[in-house]
Amino acid sequence: MATRGLFISFEGIDGAGKSSHIEPLADAFRAQGRTVARTREPGGTELAESLRELLLNRTMDALTEALLVFAARRDHICQVIAPALARGEVVLCDRFTDATFAYQGAGRGFSLETLSLLERMVQTGIAVEPDLMLEPDLTLWFDVAPAVAAERLALARAPDRFEAQDAAFFERVAQGYAARAQAAPERFVRIDGAQSRHAVWQQLTNALVRRGWLAIMVAANGGPK
Ligand SMILES: Nc1ncnc2c1ncn2[C@@H]1O[C@H](COP(=O)(O)OP(=O)(O)OP(=O)(O)O)[C@@H](O)[C@H]1O
Ligand SMILES: Cc1cn([C@H]2C[C@H](O)[C@@H](COP(=O)(O)O)O2)c(=O)[nH]c1=O
């Protein structure tokens, strides 16, 4: 039987710098001969990308939002994440369930108990490990002050429905991430996202080198351009 692959999620408030580091990390794993599934949430399948369009652009209440996020996640897990892990691949996922606890939970104020219930329903009963709740092996949390992230985004693109939220919303989301990190310190690695791209790359590759997942030489030669 093939060894289960590696599941790494990237988290942080909008503009924290996650996406800029995913492709360079995918290249680093490829340089070591690994097959990489690079994906994102909400999204990653045709169905989930359709739900993403709705989530990012249409007005809806908090329960509808939470249910759509988890519906997209279930399809994404079944179609993409679980099969890739079963093939022994490295899955690099731009956001996963920590985002739901941070945005829908801390940001919108939706019940954390209900989110935990949905998390268990959606992330168990997966063919490879039916009794286990699927979770990332590692979560790279790009921690950045909302004011810094907002400044970066203002220079980068027009805001979607989440990015258009006020500073207080992002303060709550940031606190939501901090609470998730505190509750699962063995899974989370905090990256100081306010530093330069090079320094951020060094922090995240150090975490992978420490775990024996990335060779020092590969880490040293890569990074965002
Ligand atoms: N360390 C950094 N220092 C300065 N600017 C950065 C840094 N990292 C990324 N940026 C810039 O900040 C902007 C947002 O970066 P990026 O898209 O990677 O963030 P993100 O966390 O993926 O955001 P979102 O979740 O909203 O997609 C981009 O213009 C990017 O070039
Ligand atoms: C997975 C997930 C995402 N969101 C929000 C967070 C972001 O604002 C958008 C995705 O946009 P990105 O540019 O790809 O980061 O969706 C959320 O509210 N809840 C979730 O579970």
Asked if residue 224 belongs to a domain, the reply is no
Q: What SS3 class is residue 93?
A: strand
Q: CATH no. for residue 136? A: 3.40.50.300
In a domain, 66, yes or no: no
pLDDT of residue 131: 86
Instruction: Say if 219 falls within a structural domain.
Output: no
Whether residue 194 lies inside any domain: the answer is yes
User: What are the CB-based long-range contacts (under 8 Å, 24+) for 158-167?
Assistant: 160/56, 160/57, 161/55, 161/56, 161/57, 161/58, 161/59, 162/14, 162/56, 162/103, 163/14, 163/15, 165/107
Note the ligand closest to the C-alpha atom of 99.
Answer: 2
- ipTM for this prediction: 0.98
Domains in the chain, number: 1
Task: Check residue 81 and give its pLDDT.
Answer: 97
Ligand-binding annotation for 16, yes or no, is yes
Structural domain includes residue 138 = yes
- 95 Cβ below 6 A of ligand 2: yes
Q: Work out the burial of residue 11: count CB atoms within 10 Å of its CB; fewer than 13 is exposed, 13-18 middle, 19 or more buried.
A: buried
User: Does any domain span residue 155?
Assistant: yes
Cis peptide before 130 (omega within 30 of 0): no
Segments forming the whole domain that contains residue 184: 6-39+85-211
> Would you call 23 helix, strand, or coil by DSSP?
helix
Asked whether residue 16 is domain-assigned, the answer is yes
What integer pLDDT is reported at residue 1 of this predicted model?
46
Q: What is the whole-number distance in angstroms between the Cα of residue 116 and the centre of ligand 1?
A: 29
Q: Which two tokens stand for residue 142?
A: 């790009």
Does a structural domain hold residue 110? Answer: yes
Contact (Cβ atoms closer than 8 angstroms) between residue 30 and residue 116: no
What Rg, from alpha-carbon coordinates, does the chain have? 17
Distance (Å, whole) CA 134 – CA 23: 23
Taking the C-alpha atoms of residue 31 and residue 205, their distance in angstroms, rounded to an integer, is 14
**Tens-binned pLDDT, residue by residue, of the chain (225 aa):** 457 899 999 999 999 999 999 999 999 999 999 999 999 999 999 999 999 999 999 999 999 999 999 999 999 999 999 999 999 999 999 999 999 999 999 999 999 999 999 999 999 998 878 889 999 999 999 999 999 999 999 988 899 999 999 999 999 999 999 999 999 999 999 999 999 999 999 999 999 999 999 999 888 888 887
| Nearest protein CA to atom 29 of ligand 1, as residue | 156
168: annotated binding-site residue? no
Annotation-wise, does 225 bind a ligand?
no
